[in-house]
Amino acid sequence: MKIAVLSGKGGTGKTTVSASLAYSLHNSQYVDCDVEEPNGNIFLKASLTEKEAVMVLNPVVNDDLCTGCGACQQACQFNAIAVINKKVMIFDNICHSCGACKIACPTGAISEVPREVGIIESNSSHTFMHGKLNLNEPLTIPVILQLRKKMNKYNHVIIDSAPGASCTVVSTIEDCDYCVLVTEPTPFGLHDLKIAIDLVKQLKLPFGVVVNKAMDSDTSIQVFCKEQNIDVLMELPYSKEIAKNYSKGILPVQYSNHYKDEFIKLLATIKERTS
Ligand code: SF4
Ligand code: SF4
């Protein structure tokens, strides 16, 4: 079962929830797909002994064969090629490695060379994996797709998605069995939760909400969810103890059996909702 944990914006407790859930379950795999800023291992502290480069293919032009006809520029849907004064310029950072320019070139001037865009690191048992995008690299999808190929080995795959509703998030969650939307009781939290809800509804994925930093003085999220008939799966209280431990890289489930039980119950609730 693949469970994606996401949020409309960063900093709502997405990693706390996903890492705590993975930590509390036997036979689970934690996959950090927040590839621009993977931070699950601050808490789970896996020994990252395995590394694998994520490569894409980028076009290169043989000037001796190029006539400057411009067919490659016309074929590129991503504006990653410009032909100026019959000279071809390729912008690797926005190339999507689709191969259309190579097919379109009438003289066979285009070939492809591999380029590293990121890395996948995991422990030896693959119970922990994360993807890391190279610095200044905008192409997240190849890293997500390579991570996805390595999922499925374990009973429960807990996926820590990037925040927001970008194509990176869509690519991360689209084949998941359930989505946990993490939010906090602030006006921004509610606003961003609505964005995340729109996304999972469009993808027709079952979902429920976890309220992080829940407090009696603000129940706006709970009220909204009740009105919309949306499941609130769990509430993690606003707590100085949780915040203090978090700042030291310690999850609530790593020092409290109470919270561990709560996360085990969270999985049971998700299973009930998906059965
Ligand atoms: S399509 Fe081929 S020949 Fe034409 S400009 Fe591009 S690389 Fe050169
Ligand atoms: S491989 Fe695709 S995206 Fe990249 S330059 Fe060629 S046509 Fe454009």
Residue with the smallest CA separation from ligand 1 atom 2 is: 105
Catalogue all structural domains in the chain, each as residue range(s) with its CATH number: 2-49+123-274 (3.40.50.300), 56-116 (3.30.70.20)
C-alpha 60 chain-centroid distance: 30
Task: Report CA-CA distances (Å) from 242 to 18, 245, 249.
Answer: 15, 5, 10
What pLDDT does residue 237 have?
93
Give distance in angstroms: CA of 87 to centre of ligand 2: 16
- Starting at the earlier edge strand, list the strands of the sheet with 156-160: 50-61, 110-122, 128-133, 28-32, 156-160, 2-6, 178-183, 207-214, 232-237
Q: How far is CA 68 from CA 8, 39, 60, 74, 91, in A?
A: 45, 46, 14, 12, 17
What is the chain's pLDDT, residue by residue, as a tens digit (275 residues)? 999 999 988 888 999 999 999 999 988 999 999 999 999 999 999 999 999 999 999 999 999 999 999 999 999 999 999 999 999 999 998 999 999 999 999 999 999 999 999 999 999 999 999 999 998 888 899 999 999 999 977 789 999 999 988 899 999 999 999 999 999 998 899 999 999 999 999 999 999 999 999 998 889 999 999 999 999 999 999 999 999 999 999 999 999 999 999 999 999 999 999 98
Q: CB of 223 within 8 A of CB of 183?
A: no
Reported residue count of the chain is 275
Please give the number of the atom of ligand 1 that sits closest to the Cα of 73.
6
CA distance linking residue 29 with residue 2, whole number of Å:
9
Query: For residue 97, which of 68, 148, 60 has the smallest C-alpha distance?
Result: 60
Which ligand 1 atom minimizes the distance to the CA of 81?
A: 6
Determine the distance separating the centroid of ligand 1 and the alpha carbon of 115, expressed in angstroms: 21
d(CA 114, ligand 1 centre) in Å: 20
Q: Which two tokens stand for residue 137?
A: 């690299």
CA of 85 from ligand 1 middle (Å) equals: 12
Element spanning 213, H or E: strand 207-214
- The predicted structure's pLDDT at residue 112: 97
Alpha helices in 105-252 (DSSP H): 141-149, 167-173, 187-202, 220-227, 240-247
Closest CA to 2 of 151, 196, 205: 151
pTM for the structure as a whole: 0.90
Nearest CA to ligand 1 atom 1: 105
For tokens 């706006």, the residue is: 220
